[in-house]
Chain A
Amino acid sequence: MSKDNRVLEEITTSEYKYGFTSDIEADSAPKGLNEDIVRFISAKKNEPEWMLEWRLKAYHHWLTMKEPTWPNVKYPKIDFQDIIYYSAPKKKKKLNSLDEVDPELRETFEKLGISLDEQKRLTGVAVDAVLDSVSVATTFKKKLHELGIIFCSFSEAVHEHPELIKKYIGSVVPITDNYYAALNSAVFSDGSFCYIPKGVRCPMELSTYFRINAANTGQFERTLIVAEEGSYVSYLEGCTAPMRDENQLHAAVVEIMAEKNSEVKYSTVQNWYPGDKNGKGGIYNFVTKRGICKGDGSKISWTQVETGSAITWKYPSVILKGDNSIGEFYSVAVTNNHQQADTGTKMIHLGKNTKSRIVSKGVSAGFSQNSYRGLVKVHKRAENSRNFSQCDSLLMGDKCGAHTFPYIEIENSTARVEHEATTSKIGEDQIFYCNQRGIATEDAVALIVNGYCKEVLNQLPMEFAVEAQKLLALTLEGSVG
């Protein structure tokens, strides 16, 4: 074995930092999925009839669909009857303030480093925390309320703002869209709803924190963001999950609706449990995220840092319907050990003078497989549309893989589409250069990888960027000897 390989050999020692379980009494549905379970979930949430009907319609459609097999990932067949579709921490009473949140639940959040009161006092981030499906507490509501901004759990929105939910749910990702979106539509447990009224610039970053806690539960959250004309919002989503041997399914749906001249920035730091170093356990993260730039001059920007999950399968996309609208996708996907990621984006140009930009940075280490899959489609009416795509892959060691699957469909001759792709190996000479200046190998790798991902990390809000940098270093810990 060459020196290079020996140095890059130990790709396996980093342990998952967020691996602990909370002993909170949970209120769960029995295993399996049938019409009764859908009814059970809806009843648990005390939903109106129209919501139940919508769920049932999705469920019946799901029954007619087949699990997709085209992603470049391998896993044993999922037994959908062996999953608990609903698990909520048992509510003792209705919560009026943060102080009333279950102390153990609070402790869980503290371990995650997102203590709600800390958040409240220091960071100016409004957090809607979703622990196993039910939104526990929402901060900053009052301040947002004064501006007419709605930021609440999805269940709450179903009760409080049924007209908005009815209007927008499934309008970007229809129940028939794909297998997992249909499944989510049938059994979604909770999630977040965010509505920014006309002309309002949301003064703070809105943040949701997801965590899968109970064993064998899938987390099926649903996020809906509506930005009215001329509004702006930056939305952050962070995810972690405790360590478990079995694989857990996570199938979320995120829908974004951007009206004329509005802007939505959606940032994700995903750190679900990736499984142990032999590939046992970990989250299956099968997510549908899509936004539509409905109005002219609107903009949707996705930024994601994906370091977790055993399998990641997601393509945050933008439909550029309005003229002069802009879609962006900035992604860092890091895979280590036996992780698999098949991720990318779809930019669908329908309107005139629409622009999209894709910057994807993949980092593969260990035995992992990392694929970029992206579609740029220019419709025949989309005059003068432009796309720029850059897909870079960085390999660490010689047992991992990086793959790029770009799809380009152009129906209009005025379109300008550029695609650049590079694949590189982390250089021994780069590491030696750092070593020679006194920098330890592990820090050198963190430095080099962070440098490589800089263009994407720069897109993240400050607090998140720092966390993301640490996460990158943590994920790749021990990846070089």
Chain B
Amino acid sequence: MLTIKNLHAQIEDNQILRGINLEVKPGEVHAIMGPNGSGKSTLASVLAGREDYEVTDGEVIFEGKDLLDLAPEERAREGVFLAFQYPVEIPGVSSTNFLKTAVNQIREHKGLDPLDAVSFLKLIKEKMKLVEIDQSLLSRSLNEGFSGGEKKRNEIFQMAVLDPKLAILDETDSGLDIDALRIVANGVNQLKRADNAVIVVTHYQRLLDYIIPDFVHVLYQGRIVKSGDKSLALELEDKGYDWIKDEVGSLV
């Protein structure tokens, strides 16, 4: 589904990613962990197409297409979804209106007719249950005045409605209490199928108690320095990141 080869990226003159290699297959859940400043969020942003980052080397193939060649909205329409670490507020635009515009532009891209109001409402109602989101939240301005937890839940709700092939969750657990964390994780788990994949970007392993990864990768100084299974996350939880730093340091 997704192949990242030797990906290098920088912002202004700071080299952040220094040769990422990653292969994600349908049905898999990958966790990307690492200390602050290791490039986790940069990787998520580069995959989604944020213009602040300049890709200086490497390639990203998504479903046979050169992802880096596509505009952000084209990537989204092809099925790449980013759950934002800091969801953006758009005053005066209701979540419903926003999502309807998004759904119909994605449908248009796929050559489908736009959803009428009734079918759209049905879709919304169905997905609302997944993340236990309140209807009143959807008629309010997008993310405006939402609590941290509501914003994150709303991201997963959008993910449920848009039904992407590849979802990238960027620090979705940050700022969530344990109940909200469970709700968000439940939503993600219920959306998991054999034909889609999830990349979970997180600093802590606690989210991985709920979303069980098939692979755990440790990102440090812009490279994946260690990969393993779920047990690697537990080891990190137990020992912190310093031993990784030491290990990498000793190689240099």
Contacts and interface: CB of A to CB of B under 8 A. Distances in A.
Contacts, number: 78
Interface string B99-127: 10110011001000000000000000000
A453 B105 contact: no
A447 B101 contact: yes
B90 A435 contact: no
A450 B93 CA distance: 8
Contact of B51 (A3, A427, A448): A3
A7 B72 CA distance: 13
Contacts of A427: 88
Contact of A440 (B73, B90, B158): B73
B172 to A, nearest CB: 14
Contact of B77 (A432, A434, A438, A450): A438
Contacts of A438: 73, 76-77, 102, 105-106, 109, 162
A453 B92 contact: yes
A179 B49 CA distance: 55
A283 to B, nearest CB: 29
B92 A455 contact: yes
A390 B113 CA distance: 41
Contacts of B73: 434-436, 438-441
B82 A447 contact: no
B157 to A, nearest CB: 12
A452 B82 CA distance: 25
A314 B93 CA distance: 29
B93 A448 contact: yes
A435 B109 contact: no
Interface residues of B, number: 32
Contacts of B97: 447
B72 A447 contact: no
B196 to A, nearest CB: 16
B87 A435 contact: no
B71 to A, nearest CB: 7
Contact of B105 (A440, A451, A455): A440
Contact of A430 (B71, B90, B106): B90
A3 B49 CA distance: 13
A443 B101 contact: yes
Contacts of B105: 438-440, 443
Interface in A409-444: 427-430, 432-441, 443
A432 B52 CA distance: 11
Contacts of A7: 51
10 contacts: A430-B89, A432-B50, A435-B71, A435-B76, A436-B84, A437-B76, A438-B73, A438-B109, A440-B105, A455-B92
Interface of B: 48-52, 71-73, 75-77, 81-82, 84, 87-93, 97-99, 101-102, 105-106, 109, 141, 158, 162
Please provide the 10 A-B residue pairs with the shortest distance between their CB atoms, ordered closest to farther.
Answer: A451-B92, A451-B93, A454-B92, A435-B72, A437-B102, A438-B76, A433-B88, A438-B106, A435-B73, A438-B77
Interface of A: 3, 7, 427-430, 432-441, 443, 447-448, 450-455
